[in-house]
């Protein structure tokens, strides 16, 4: 075990763990934007910055991907840390002036956008959407260009032919840059103002609400195996649970009936 301290509290963790992992386990809050349990940490947004003191020296590091070390002292809310996060927010707000999350954090840290941006779009370039897609789905997204032109898109900026419309990118996006629009039997995945994929929807056979896309059901069958039966593939989660519960009740009634047979 590796022993060290966070905000004066003695903590411990396994070798290879990161500061953020140990902090979460001990109920110590470190704010994050791009850290997600579904993917390996990359420290792209830098907002989980903390101060680490080691053998008399102090430095700012990203808690999500900084390995723990014996005897270090971690401060999650020092003035140096708050100033670092304030600067990060000022830079991110330049790109994302309309993000509710960033504006809320800006009020907390007293940050204001100080710089001009020709094309603000509410994307912090954390790459979380692309990494989740590559790790768990089909690598439909990619990171393109460099410097201030760096952005997330699809190959050749065209409608993706491999996207399955699962919506994972939409669910993990911290700023609302990725949008999912279900309308008139179709699903659109939208990055800013760019439609990156379109899919036909499968609607619930019982209540008519959205289940998922046809391509996602096909992908799920392949991933789970051709012989795997997806229970109620054309029912939404609510109706699916209702049907499973009803079947369980029927089985229970049958079991009680058989148990009460007059021998």
pLDDT at 253: 60
Q: Identify the band that residue 137 occupies on the pLDDT scale cut at 50, 70 and 90.
A: very high
- Structure tokens of 51? 């101060």
What's the whole-model pTM score? 0.83
pLDDT at 12: 96
State residue 233 phi and psi, 5-degree precision. -65, -20
**Domain 2-109, CATH class in plain words:** alpha beta
Question: Per residue in 209-223, pLDDT tens?
Answer: 898 999 998 898 888
Output Rg (C-alpha) for the chain, integer angstroms.
Answer: 24
Cα(73)–Cα(53) distance, integer angstroms: 5
Opening angle at CA 61, ends 57 and 65, nearest 5:
130
- List the chain domain ranges: 2-109, 128-235
pLDDT at 263: 43
Question: Per residue in 65-115, pLDDT tens?
Answer: 999 999 999 999 999 999 999 999 999 999 999 899 999 999 999 998 888
> Residues 30, 77: contact at Cβ < 8 Å?
no
SS3 for 196-239, per residue? EEEEEEEECCCCCCEEEEHHHHHHHHHHHCCCCCCCCCCCCHHH
Cα(135)–Cα(39) distance, integer angstroms: 7
Give the contacts of 232 (CB within 8 A, at least 6 positions apart): 239, 240, 243, 244
């Amino acid at each position: 075990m590796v022993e060290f301290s966070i905000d004066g509290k003695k903590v411990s963790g396994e070798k290879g763990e990161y500061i953020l992992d140990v902090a979460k386990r001990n109920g110590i809050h470190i704010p994050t934007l791009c850290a997600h349990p579904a993917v390996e940490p990359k420290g792209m947004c830098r907002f989980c910055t903390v101060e680490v003191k080691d053998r008399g020296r102090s430095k700012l590091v990203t808690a999500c991907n900084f390995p723990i070390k014996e005897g270090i002292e971690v401060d999650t809310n020092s003035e140096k840390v708050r100033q670092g996060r304030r600067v990060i927010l000022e830079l991110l707000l330049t790109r994302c002036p309309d993000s509710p999350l960033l504006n809320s954090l800006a009020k907390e840290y007293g940050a204001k956008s100080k710089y001009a941006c020709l094309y603000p779009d509410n994307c912090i370039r954390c790459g979380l959407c692309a990494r989740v897609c590559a790790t768990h789905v089909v690598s439909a997204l990619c990171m393109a260009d460099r410097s201030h032109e760096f952005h997330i898109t699809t190959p050749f900026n065209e409608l993706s032919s491999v996207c399955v419309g699962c919506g994972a990118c939409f669910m993990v996006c911290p700023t609302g840059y990725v949008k999912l629009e279900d309308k008139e039997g179709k699903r659109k995945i939208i990055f800013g103002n760019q439609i990156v994929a379109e899919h036909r929807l499968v609607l619930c056979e019982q209540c008519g609400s959205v289940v998922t896309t046809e391509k996602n059901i096909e992908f799920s069958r392949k991933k789970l195996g051709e012989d795997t039966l997806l229970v109620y593939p054309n029912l939404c989660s609510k109706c699916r649970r209702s049907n499973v519960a009803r079947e369980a009740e029927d089985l229970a009634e049958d079991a009680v009936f058989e148990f009460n047979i007059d021998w």
